[in-house]
Structure 1
């Protein structure tokens, strides 16, 4: 079995899996106290024969307390392997034209002490540089003390010092994330934008420039991808542990990590007034939150709340209403992944705020005071499943670029509605909207025509399309939104009929790659034309459907999947689509008719 289980729940989970064989992987462990090992050992006793626990650590003491444990030490890469890794990044076109670099490169590789991270980081530093630069890097490494941990970290410092200034700033800023924290690229770029760390490049969007920064740091191994199981999921990243140590070192005068009234990271004498950004970490063993340790840092520009276990809930619901009045310089405030039910009134007074993170909280509404934050660029409300409405004065957020209240599309249903006020179409810089709840033209809420001039990107889910008057769909200009990557068009199940689908879905979408249709109540269906780029077509849970016609060629289609259509008796399909057809749970008596090519 393979599961990702929150740390606080793993004991209950293992108890529920009594007598089943398991593999438990604990990566990068630093705990060395007896209490931790005893807490871990007891629930493991319920596992079946052959169960295994795999622990990785760079802290030798962490593996000495448990009994009956094998302690193999992993050796580093061989010198020649480090050299090959350096070459792959520094000389992607091959070594043939650079034979004079071989002795220098081999000595640099030897001084990586088998660390692939050091080899990758230095290879990126040496990419497309002169022989003098190679000699300079070698000289820096020769000055290092011959100690594995010291040399590896120092090698990473060398790669950091060779970064351009703006990349140094962006990397150091990422110390605000706790060690092991998993993040999305957009989240980091929006932080950087809020802090003014992204330098404008002509007419390019700041987001595009920021993504280039991110990809550069990723290529240089300052970030790493986190493996994901599903192809359709958004890619996630983290800072490697050694790189996180480096980020903490280079930002020691500007960053503080705070926990239960004490500093997590010591400061080497830096004054509180110098601190510009901080993260407050909720300990896993605390049931209340003491925020007094934050108060001396009144000059903060960024404040992020996190849980010690990364996937736990921060207890912010009892935050005093006036608390944030002490931090009037904040540009970034992230209270995501907390039990927050109501945004404190004082947040509305943070006139410099550019990023407000409230994702995965319990809020139902936002205070009207939020609309006075005229500098706000990003309002993140992802995963807020209880959100009912947005404030009436939303159009006053004239600098808003990202209104992100995305829900996993599997969780969207007829009851997934967020009342959106009129005037959202006036937000000229808005690029991210995520969900749009349609209201009738005569209603008090905004109607689909507000989408007309918005230059939206990424994901967009449009709900309650049955409320769209005839002709309004075309005027919403969906066909002109070329940067929408994922689109959901949803009719309320009580109003949806096949005729209505035909009437309202003649919006040609030339760039659409994936289309999923489910829970349609009509007894016949014909897919309209207008999908020349479609690669994946899925039809699910069409429980009233008796006849389905897919007569269009759809030249780029790679997969056609139809399942859980309990009454489907006849499928009319274009001949070129037949080989792509995959049937799921369908009648064995289903009749398939192939339409010849025109």
Structure 2
């Protein structure tokens, strides 16, 4: 073994010498990995070709004269565009106005009815996190059925069940029991690649059943879609004449399936525009495999796309397969996992997170990942694998022993796996597997898991790098955790753990520790030894207190936090004099959250400390209850600041607000300002999201022309003295979401709201009755809001929150 190690060292040294000799580093920095994009990976996300007629058909069915409920089945091959078509219909402005509530549920192949109902309820209530029933995860079948029936009663609703693989009579009978027949043209839509599901007689009384078959794209539309993807930088997106015969041959082989055309188009867009290079793809001998009737053509084209990925992106793509089917993968979680696994290469002048972000954008741009949600400035917030992509990734991963997903009774592949993801674990984690070879271990909590009382972790994780137990109701983290010397990523978010063992301090290689929303109130003193730690996430968010002052709490740190010199993310800690004084030494910090900040010397010292954090992008400060948060002591804010949250009374609007040129997110809560804050923040040209919650005691907010040119979201909460809002033409030209809540003195709609032509959603929460009545059909202000597709109204009766649509 010693001799072999010496040989490996010699090989590594030789590789490094060749690396420097041939200047590979310069090529990598300038090459495909970071210069591949020619457009934003999100810019063409909703670009659809050849599907316009389907949307018109769905609208015709919806708006027909018959006053009965609708049952619509949409079916076609995998990758034919079923979900895209239904999504365009679902998001259509006229459709949004027509239905009072909606839910989109993507089903796994072996879904549980109770889980479907819980997802449905959460979809209905998603407009406000605080409105979700707190005991929903504890409800049984009968309670869930009653909740849905009560919510949907007298409402016109649309429910989409996406990607249904099977729906037998007994299963449908259970679903149908929860969904009332309203006889007012409510709609249930099902998408499926199975003809027997689409043709199923659903037996809904007084309903009409329509079936929409999604055909393959005709040749001309297939060619148009391919050219849009393959020739994004060519004038008019036209194929060069020299390449046209080869390109058309490639398109014909896609057989009119949009997904495979898009993927092939992106594949060819990265190739040199020469006939020889394109014929290499066309003449690939593996194309002959598709003549086998059992071979799925679309999967082969996806396989071509996978093999064309750079080496580092192949690992990143396969790693996404550890997540369950249709799982929403958070961007930050994914890139931290990639870093922990060593998939992300260090590039000069870039952090590993920035490099990993580029990897994710490339996978999105190449159609290997789908963007599900974006943040306030258009960046991917969560992504998902298309089911065909996931099948491909799992197949490759199993063959390479890269990763294996375990469901009950499917353990034959587990023994040799290097990465194991347990997707169904309703009892204790099985101990029959040999865990000694694992590098990564995931447990994904199902809804039934959440009712379990406690878990014991398997032992012998000798070489483990990643341990992800998010949402699993374990109560104790064993001391053996300290033996995992190679551990780089530990995720205990939303578990029931109350205490972190002292042995945690032995994890000298740990990069990420996530204990958010656990019951841990204090870190052990041994954590001071985690010198490699980059991300320390330990805030506690209480959705039931979202409108209260202390909706977020931090964690106590009983040691000198500045000794963790590698920290880039620290969210959130409880302030004390020692911590505030030493934070200025942590010059690598990009994000920090501090709670319980006291007025006086502690604030002075904190402001002096923040001035030293030149790399800071995100700052969250919450004062101690009743204490003033005087930020005027801060003379020079961090120059790169993008997100700022201040919770606590402000003496005045800080003078330095106007210098925050990169700020995209501003949240002021309980500021109780006498002066109008808009006068000092309107010039923030990059601001995308602004929230004022109990932040201003004045009675007028006046938005002048040219103010907030990039603003997308505006939220005005609990402004108790506000009685008038004026919006001049030319202000907030891009705003899409306006939320007004708890403004008890505001009796009328903001003047000039009709100028906000891009407004997609208006939400009213706990507003005066006379304010709301003016917005109903026939009300005085109704004509001024007809351009807004979705208008929500939340109100309380006997302490219980209710919702209605005013669209």
TM-score by length of 2: 0.62
Whole-Å Cα distance in 2 between the matches of residues 233 and 168 of structure 1? 22
Residues 62 and 212 (structure 1), Cα distance of their counterparts in 2 relative to 1, 3 Å cut: same
Q: Does 1:430 align with 2:573?
A: no
Deviation at 1:224, TM superposition (A): 0.8
CA separation of 1:261/1:389 partners in 2, compared to 1, >3 Å: closer, same or farther? farther
Q: Please give the secondary structure, in 1, of the residue aligned with 2:436.
A: coil
State the match for 2:512 in structure 1.
Answer: 378
Q: Residue 473 in 1 paired to residue 613 in 2?
A: no
Q: Are residue 57 (structure 1) and residue 203 (structure 2) matched? A: no
Deviation at residue 204 of structure 1 after TM alignment: 3.9
After superposition, the C-alpha distances for 1:234-267 in whole angstroms (9 at most, x for unaligned) are 710011110000001101131222123433xx75
Alpha-carbon deviation of 1:327? 2.2
Kept after mapping to 1: 8 A contact 2:611/2:634: no
Q: CA deviation at 1:406?
A: 4.7
Write the distance in 1 (CA, Å) between the matches of 2:700 and 2:326. 53
Question: Does the CA contact (< 8 Å) of 1:553 and 1:577 recur in 2?
Answer: no
Cα distance in 2 for residues equivalent to 1:469 and 1:344: 37
TM-score, scaled to structure 1? 0.82
Structure 2 unaligned runs (5+)? 1-100, 106-114, 121-143, 204-208, 727-807
- Which residue of 75, 94, 100 corresponds with 2:242? 100
- Picking from 440, 457, 462, the partner of 2:594 is 462
Q: CA deviation at 1:222?
A: 1.0
Q: Which residue of 1 aligns with 2:454?
A: 318
Kindly state the Cα deviation for residue 462 of structure 1 after the two structures are TM-superposed. Answer: 2.0
Query: Do the aligned partners of 1:20 and 1:48 also contact (CA within 8 Å) in 2?
Result: no
Q: What is the Cα deviation at residue 359 of structure 1?
A: 1.4
What SS does the corresponding residue of 1:325 show, helix, strand or coil? Answer: coil
For structure 1, list consecutive stretches of 5 or more residues without a partner in the other structure.
593-598
Question: Which of 274, 282, 305 pairs up with 2:443?
Answer: 305
Q: CA deviation at 1:519?
A: 5.3
Contact kept in structure 2, 1:527 and 1:550, CA below 8 Å: no
Show the counterpart of 2:80: none
Q: 1:26 to 1:574 in 2, by over 3 A?
A: closer
Residues 114 and 483 (structure 1 numbering): CA distance in 2 closer, same or farther, change over 3 Å? Answer: farther
Cα shift readout 1:309-336 (whole Å, capped 9, x = no counterpart): 6xx655775333xx43222121111100
Q: Distance in 2 between matches of 1:517 and 1:495?
A: 13
Which residue pairs with 2:223 in the alignment? 83
Query: What is the distance in 2 between the residues matched to 1:31 and 1:191?
Result: 34
- Contact kept, 8 Å, 1:514 with 1:537, in 2: the verdict is yes
Superposition deviation, residue 206 in structure 1: 2.9
Q: CA deviation at 1:435?
A: 1.5
Cα displacement string for residues 132-168 of structure 1 (whole angstroms, at most 9, x for unaligned residues) = 2321222344552276980001110111122222222
Are the equivalent residues in 2 in contact too, given 1:549–1:572 (CA < 8 A)? no
Q: Find the partner of 1:568 among 695, 698, 708.
A: 698
Match of 1:289 among 416, 422, 428: 428
- Matched residue SS, 2:405: strand
For residues 166 and 536 of structure 1, the distance between their equivalents in structure 2, rounded to whole angstroms, comes to: 33
SS in structure 1 of the partner of residue 476 of structure 2: coil
Give matches, 1:169-208, under 5 Å: 169-202=315-348, 204-208=350-354
- Contact residue 19 and residue 48 of structure 1 kept, 8 A: no
SS at match of 1:75: coil
Trace 1:439-588 onto structure 2 (pairs within 5 A): 439-441=576-578, 446-457=579-590, 459-466=591-598, 469=602, 471-478=604-611, 480-484=613-617, 486-496=618-628, 501=630, 504-506=633-635, 508-512=637-641, 520=649, 525-532=652-659, 533=661, 546=674, 548=676, 552=680, 555-556=683-684, 568=698, 585=719, 587=721
Please name the residue that 2:71 is paired with.
none
After superposition, give the CA deviation of every residue in 1:391-445 in whole Å (9 maximum; x if it has no partner).
Answer: 211121121111123556974843713101323212222111121321123xxxx
**8 Å contact kept, 1:19–1:46:** no
Change (3 A) 1:202 1:41: same
1:139 to 283, 292, 295: 283
Asked if the contact 1:277/1:303 (under 8 Å) is kept, the reply is yes
Find the counterpart in structure 2 of residue 596 from structure 1. Answer: none
Alignment of 1:341 onto 2:443: no
Instruction: Tell me how far apart the structure 2 counterparts of residues 211 and 275 of structure 1 sit (CA, whole Å).
Output: 27
Question: 1:169/1:562 Cα in 2 relative to 1: closer, same or farther (>3 Å)?
Answer: closer
Q: Which of these residues, 239, 244, 260, is aligned with residue 390 of structure 2?
A: 244
546 and 162 in structure 1: CA distance in 2 versus 1, 3 angstrom threshold? closer
3-state secondary structure, aligned to 1:356: strand
Contact 1:90 1:125 in 2 (8 A): yes
Structure 2 distance, partners of 1:313, 1:327, is 23
**In the superposition, relative to structure 1, how do residues 25 and 307 fare at CA in structure 2: closer, same or farther (>3 Å)?**
farther
Number of positions where the alignment pairs a residue of Structure 1 with one of Structure 2: 565
Change in Cα spacing, 1:66 to 1:330, as seen in structure 2 (3 Å) is: farther
Compare relative contact order (CA 8 Å, sep 6+) and give the higher one, 1 or 2. Answer: 2
In the alignment, what sits opposite 1:21? 156
**2: CA distance, partners of 1:196 / 1:212:** 15
Once the two structures are superposed, the pairs formed by residues 122-137 of structure 1 within 5 Å of their partners are 122-126=264-268, 127-129=270-272, 130-137=274-281
Residue 37 (structure 1) aligned with residue 172 (structure 2):
yes
Q: Retained in 1: the 8 A contact 2:431–2:458?
A: no
Q: How does 1:585-596 map to 2 (within 5 A)?
A: 585=719, 587=721
Q: What SS is found at the alignment partner of 1:490? A: strand
Q: Which piece of structure 1 moves more, 343-352 or 151-160?
A: 343-352
**Residues 253-283 of structure 1: CA deviation (Å, up to 9, x unaligned):** 31222123433xx75xxxx553111111226
Query: SS of the counterpart of 1:15?
Result: helix
- Cα drift, residue 97 of structure 1: 7.8
Distance (whole Å) between structure 2 residues aligned to residue 67 and residue 576 of structure 1: 54
Deviates more, 1:14-23 or 1:349-358: 14-23
Aligned residues of 2:684 and 2:708 also touching (Cα < 8 A): no
Partner of 1:110: 252
Corresponding residue for residue 121 of structure 1: 263
User: Could you tell which deviates more after superposition, 393-402 or 42-51?
Assistant: 42-51
SS of the equivalent of 1:92 reads: coil
Change (3 A) 1:564 1:432: closer
Quote the residue 2:786 is aligned against: none
- Asked if residue 327 in structure 1 is aligned to residue 473 in structure 2, the reply is no
| 1:72 to 1:3, Cα distance in 2 relative to 1, 3 A | closer
Q: Secondary structure at the match of 1:98?
A: coil
User: How far, CA to CA, are the matches of 2:671 and 2:616 in structure 1?
Assistant: 30
1:32·1:61 contact (CA, 8 Å) conserved in 2?
Answer: no
1:328-354: CA deviation from partner (whole Å, max 9, x where unpaired)? 121111100122232233323222211
How far apart are residue 54 of structure 1 and its match? 1.0
Give the Cα–Cα distance (whole angstroms) in 1 for the partners of residues 355 and 430 of structure 2: 36
